[in-house]
Amino acid sequence: MRFSQKVKGALLVFIFLVYFFVKAESINRIIARVNQEVITSQDLENYCKVLKYKNPQIKIDEEFKKKILDTLIENKLILSLAKKENVHVPPRWVKKEIERISSFYSSFGEFSKNLAKEGLSLASLKKRLEEEYLIRLMIDKYVRSKLNITPYEITQFYYHNKKRFTKPAEYIIWIGKWKSEEEALLAYESLKKSDNWGKNLQRIRVEKDRLKEEIKKVVDNLKEKEMVMKEIGEYFYIVYLEKKIPSMISSLEEVKEEIYSLLEEKKFTELFKKWIEKLKGEALIKIYE
């Protein structure tokens, strides 16, 4: 039996549509379900693209995508809570964020081109920014607001971790180098008479172990207020040791802000994990292979 041109055309259209939807389904399939909402492979790809856009150094591999899927599930839970509480994003805030990001480009057109190049649209970026705002707001409300670091905790952490706050030994030295031995000798003799260190030498304060090994050996053998000229490699060096600063433990006053940040981060991680586990326990979550 011979098909008419119309039948052939209809068959070709049908085959094309079947191919298109099968391909679209394989490209944008459901990879997770959180209560009544779904996360698709395209959601995951778009999220990764935005992260890559913000930080080009990120390596997007399968292991990274697994972690991001966990983040997307957590985000869905937090966003559902924001929706339940009827929280809205100020349009002005989104506008300012877009302006801030686009300001890194020569023009808004260049910014839009770069978005398109990365497979993103302005709408997808706006959506991501709105989600970031809501997530941050909910985290501030349910986690950060509960953070409380007491002076007693800071003091206890300090006395139990003193070694962590040990300052390395340091040197304050004056140093200069010359290609010519003759020029180095002239400078050396001049310095012995005038002590005008700034004319020929550079003053540096440096951790002992950060010095080049050859220079470190020279300085280690010097006494304070002593100067030496030494040939090292292709150069002639003049080194004057102003002061040796021994290794010591920082005072509590010096490191209390650092300790506060450490404890804050630790407590935040614990509280956030507890809060997210509670939200997960109240939700129906399914991940599809």
DSSP 37-67: EEEEHHHHHHHHHHHHHH-TT----HHHHHH
Q: What is the pLDDT of residue 2?
A: 44
Average pLDDT, stretch 216-224? 93
212 in Cβ contact with 235 (< 8 Å) = no
Query: Does residue 23 carry a pLDDT above 80?
Result: no
| Residues in CB range of 115: below 8 A, 6 or more apart | 53, 121, 122, 125
| Residues of the chain above pLDDT 90, percent | 58
What does pTM read for this prediction? 0.67
Distance CA 207, CA 9 (A): 79
Average pLDDT, stretch 12-23? 32
Structure tokens at 85: 């509480």
- Band (pLDDT 50/70/90 cuts) for residue 17 is very low
Q: What is the pLDDT of residue 256?
A: 96
| pLDDT, tens digit, 9 for 90 and up, residues 142-191 | 999 999 999 999 999 999 999 999 999 999 999 999 999 999 999 998 88
Q: What is the pLDDT of residue 142?
A: 96
| pLDDT, tens digit, 9 for 90 and up, residues 57-99 | 888 888 888 899 999 999 999 999 999 999 999 999 999 988 9
The torsion of the CA quartet 169, 170, 175, 181, rounded to 10 degrees, works out to 0
> If DSSP codes are grouped into helix, strand and coil, which group holds residue 280?
helix
Q: Which of 174, 219, 180, 221 is nearest to 196 (CA)?
A: 174
Query: Does residue 12 carry a pLDDT above 90?
Result: no
Domain ranges of the chain: 5-142, 169-246
User: The dihedral of CA 209, 212, 216, 217: what is its sign?
Assistant: positive
| pLDDT, tens digit, 9 for 90 and up, residues 255-283 | 999 999 999 999 999 999 999 999 999 99
Q: What is the pLDDT of residue 191?
A: 87
Average pLDDT, stretch 8-35? 51
The torsion of the CA quartet 210, 212, 171, 181, rounded to 10 degrees, works out to -160
Distance CA 214, CA 236 (A): 12
- The shares of helix, strand and coil residues in the chain, as percent rounded to the nearest 5, are 60, 15, 20
> Which class does domain 5-142 fall in?
mainly alpha
Average per-residue pLDDT in the chain?
Answer: 85
Distance CA 159, CA 163 (A): 9
